[in-house]
Amino acid sequence: MGKQFFGTDGIRGRTNQGAMTAAMAMKVGQAAGARFLRGTHRHRVVIGKDTRLSGYMLENAMVAGFTSVGMDVVLLGPMPTPAVALLTRELRADVGVMISASHNPYEDNGIKLFGPDGFKLSDEDELAIEAMLVGEDLALAASPEIGRARRVEDARGRYIHAVKASLPSTVRLDGLKIAVDCANGAAYQVAPSAFWELGAEIVAVGVTPNGKNINERCGSTHVELLQETVVSSGADIGIALDGDADRLIVVDEKGQTVDGDQIMALIGSQLAARGELRGGGVVATVMSNLGLERYLSGQGLSLERTAVGDRHVLERMRSGGFNVGGEQSGHMILLDHATTGDGTVAALQVLSALVQSGKRASELLHLFDPVPQLLRNVRFGGGKPLEAASVKAAIADAEASLDGRGRLVIRPSGTEPVIRVMAEGDDAGEVEAAVASICHAVEKAAA
**Residue 34 CB neighbour total at 10 angstroms:** 20
| Residue 241 falls in which region: left (phi positive, over 0), alpha (psi -120 to 50) or beta | beta
Query: Minimal CA–CA distance to 80: which of 6, 29, 156, 153?
Result: 156
Residues of the chain with confidence (pLDDT) below 70: 1, 414-415
pTM, entire model: 0.93
Query: Minimal CA–CA distance to 295: which of 281, 309, 308, 305?
Result: 281
Q: Would you identify the CATH topology of the domain 11-153? A: Alpha-D-Glucose-1,6-Bisphosphate; Chain A, domain 3 (3.40.120)
pLDDT for res 116: 97
How far apart CA 310 and CA 54 sit, in angstroms, is 25
Question: What is the helix (H) or strand (E) element at residue 351, kind and residue range?
Answer: helix 343-357
Give the residues across from 257 on adjacent strands. Answer: 251
pLDDT for res 397: 94
User: SS3 of 116, please?
Assistant: coil
Question: Is 122 within 8 Å of 113 (Cβ atoms)?
Answer: no
Q: Between 3.40.50.300, 3.30.420.40, 3.40.1110.10, 3.30.310.50, what CATH number should domain 373-446 receive?
A: 3.30.310.50
pLDDT in tens, 63-91: 999 999 999 999 999 999 999 999 999 99
Question: Is 197 within 8 Å of 165 (Cβ atoms)?
Answer: no
Question: Is 6 within 8 Å of 130 (Cβ atoms)?
Answer: yes
Catalytic residue among 100, 102, 352, 437: 102
pLDDT for res 1: 56
Domain ranges of the chain: 11-153, 159-364, 373-446
pLDDT for res 419: 93
Q: Is 54 a catalytic residue?
A: no
Query: Minimal CA–CA distance to 53: which of 94, 7, 15?
Result: 15
Q: Between 2.30.110.10, 3.40.366.30, 3.40.50.2000, 3.40.120.10, what CATH number should domain 159-364 receive?
A: 3.40.120.10
Q: Do domains 11-153 and 159-364 have the same CATH topology?
A: yes
